[in-house]
Structure 1
Amino acid sequence: MDYRNHLHKVDNLKAKTVNNKLATVKSYVGYASARDVSLQQYAFSIEQVPYYSEPKERKPVIEDVDALAALLHMPPNTRKGLRDKVIMCVLYDGGMRVDELVSMDVRNVCLDYDNVKLRIHGKGNKERCVIVDSKTSALIQQYMGEFHLERNRDAPFIYTVIGGKQKYMTARNVQKLIKKYSDKVREAYDLPESVSPHTLRRTRGTLLYRDGVDLAAISVLLGHADMKTTRDYYTSPSLDQMREIANRRNSVIPEEEPLWPDDEDELSRILGLD
């Protein structure tokens, strides 16, 4: 316990770092005690040392819908701009993780419907299907016509060309292009200090919640194994909702009124009691 507290309070390490170090110590002592029974009492004592509970940190979302629209519209009307626009719109509309997007093949894109269906392989290799809206679908259709005329099902959906060959675009490259566009938008709109691919995902989930979409449906869209994750990280009310809450059931609070003077003689004069 003293070691844990020293790391946190003296060395000023974050709770997550302290917990990682504590887990390492527990693992090592457990390993040693399995080979030397004389150490088992120490292993038992160390195992009882609790981890620091880490407060859940809510990362920022794009609160200004106009700023969000400006970001998604920022790529130019060029071939490369179309690709970048598809990347950002699919990340947002599909509520996707960046790793899910960059690992997609053409086979995962179903164009047989008015609304394009995307087959996503998420965490734990769990598969889910996401249907995007008509505008995103139109962008994907246009993108496929420009970048995947041959419809090679094994080709990467989003790619870069290296040495004349199509290669999966990296998550880092996606991060860089989103940063480039968000830096431009920030000149005119209020955006979080850092906008990442996951910011688009968080924004999508949060805005759906604020629009009254069922939490279970949002959890399915985002591919959460436990709906508690959705509730813990995506259910923050907007400023307008907070204002609405503040004004509810407040009829008992007195209205603002002019103040009477504290001076009794002056008060008597005003009331004509002289």
Structure 2
Amino acid sequence: MTGEDAALVDRFCDMLAAEAGAARNTLLAYRSDLAKAREALGSPLGEASDEQLKHLGEAWSDLAPSTVARRAAALRRFYAFLFEEGIRSDDPSAVLPKPKQQRPLPRILDPHEVERMLEAAEERAASDRPLALRNLALIELLYGSGLRASELVTLPKTALRRGEPFLILAGKGGKERLVPVSERAHEAVRRWIEVHPGGRWLFPGGKVHLSRVRLFQLVREMAADAGIAPDRVSPHVLRHAFATHLLSGGADLRALQALLGHSDIATTQIYTHVDASRLVELVNARHPLARSRD
């Protein structure tokens, strides 16, 4: 992207960084989506008319609905910025495509399956072999605190302090949040620290910290050790298990939102599906008509 469009996008990204606290990866994603929109239009973004924007739906017809929705969202925010700054006298974004998306429910792990994974990891850690102790600490933090994979692998060695039941970390967009740490996780990390090879990171790997790809592989290996199909398990599935099992145990949706670090509660609701039998039980126990028949 060159010329006037490049200058406008620079100003737009400066605003996102300064006012919305957008992270570097978020800004790169916006730049990429706006550049692809400029390519599809074949003319300057800043000057695009309603009629030109209407044709983007056709140009993006081969893309996944989620991709179209993301690019359209980037354009809407861009044109809202141009309008608010007085760079344009109108906001043409109303004509942008609005594909219907159906977000799939995350894969489910039963509490007993997670317990099997934890037990298998504990059995291996009984040998006091360093890698087995590391793996136990990884799974205890993943399931016990609901950390994202990127948050877990980038924890500094000093993240958990003795006697403190939580840690403070920077999640998406650099937003800080408190994350609870169970006594089990504390103990697993303590055992791992005793044989830790040293360095800045709690989970070192290569020249820096453990990679997300390697974490993914380790989690699948632990699933296989517990007799669970590896393709059913990932770090995100364990984060989802943390959320759904807490909800089933009576956790409040707003509290869950804070624990997961979601800025929008609508995102949290994806994690809140429960089995049909529990819903039926809830209706039978709490609905006024059900009680009136007693």
State the match for 1:50 in structure 2: 97
Which of 196, 202, 209 is matched with 1:157 structurally? 202
2-side partners of 1:44 and 1:117: how far apart?
A: 45
Q: Is residue 210–residue 238 contact of structure 1 (8 Å, CA) maintained in 2?
A: no
Which of 117, 130, 139 is matched with 2:179 structurally? 130
Q: Is residue 158–residue 168 contact of structure 1 (8 Å, CA) maintained in 2?
A: yes
State the match for 1:209 in structure 2: 247
Question: Superposed, which structure 2 residues align to 1:1-274 within 5 Å?
Answer: 4=57, 7-8=60-61, 11=62, 13-19=63-69, 48-62=95-109, 64-75=110-121, 76-77=124-125, 78-111=129-162, 113=163, 116-147=165-196, 155-161=200-206, 167-185=208-226, 188-189=227-228, 193-230=231-268, 232-245=269-282
Q: Which amino acid aligns with 1:49?
A: L
Q: Secondary structure at the match of 1:109?
A: coil
Pairwise CA distance, 1:106: 1.6
The 1:55/1:192 distance shift into structure 2, 3 A limit, reads: farther
Q: Which amino acid aligns with 2:281?
A: E
TM value normalised by structure 2: 0.64
- Summarize deviations over 1:5-53 as a string: whole Å, max 9, x none: 6854xx4x421233356679999999xxxxxxxxx9xx97775133213
Q: Secondary structure at the match of 1:59?
A: coil
- Which has the larger share of helix? 2
Q: Is residue 119–residue 128 contact of structure 1 (8 Å, CA) maintained in 2?
A: yes
The 1:137/1:6 distance shift into structure 2, 3 A limit, reads: same
Q: Secondary structure at the match of 1:209?
A: helix
Q: Secondary structure at the match of 1:101?
A: helix
- Summarize deviations over 1:57-101 as a string: whole Å, max 9, x none: 221121x21111111232312321110111111011111011111
1-side partners of 2:255 and 2:77: how far apart?
A: 39
Q: Indicate the RMSD between aligned Cα atoms, in angstroms.
A: 3.5
What percent identity do the matched residue pairs reach? 23
Larger RCO (alpha carbons 8 Å, 6+ apart)? 1
The 1:28/1:195 distance shift into structure 2, 3 A limit, reads: same
Structure of larger gyration radius? 1
Q: Is residue 117–residue 130 contact of structure 1 (8 Å, CA) maintained in 2?
A: yes
Q: Is residue 102–residue 169 contact of structure 1 (8 Å, CA) maintained in 2?
A: yes
Q: Secondary structure at the match of 2:195?
A: helix
Unaligned runs of 5+ in 1: 31-39, 253-274
Q: Is residue 79–residue 91 contact of structure 2 (8 Å, CA) maintained in 1?
A: no
Q: Is residue 4–residue 22 contact of structure 1 (8 Å, CA) maintained in 2?
A: no
Q: Which amino acid aligns with 2:275?
A: S
2-side partners of 1:29 and 1:225: how far apart?
A: 23
1-side partners of 2:187 and 2:75: how far apart?
A: 54
1-side partners of 2:254 and 2:74: how far apart?
A: 36
1-side partners of 2:146 and 2:78: how far apart?
A: 40
The 1:28/1:202 distance shift into structure 2, 3 A limit, reads: closer
Q: Which moved more, 1:15-24 or 1:77-86?
A: 15-24
The 1:139/1:184 distance shift into structure 2, 3 A limit, reads: closer
Q: Is residue 73–residue 85 contact of structure 1 (8 Å, CA) maintained in 2?
A: no
- Summarize deviations over 1:161-199 as a string: whole Å, max 9, x none: 55xxxx2111111011111222343xx45x684311111
Q: Is residue 146–residue 240 contact of structure 2 (8 Å, CA) maintained in 1?
A: yes
2-side partners of 1:247 and 1:238: how far apart?
A: 15
Q: Which amino acid aligns with 2:221?
A: K
The 1:147/1:21 distance shift into structure 2, 3 A limit, reads: closer
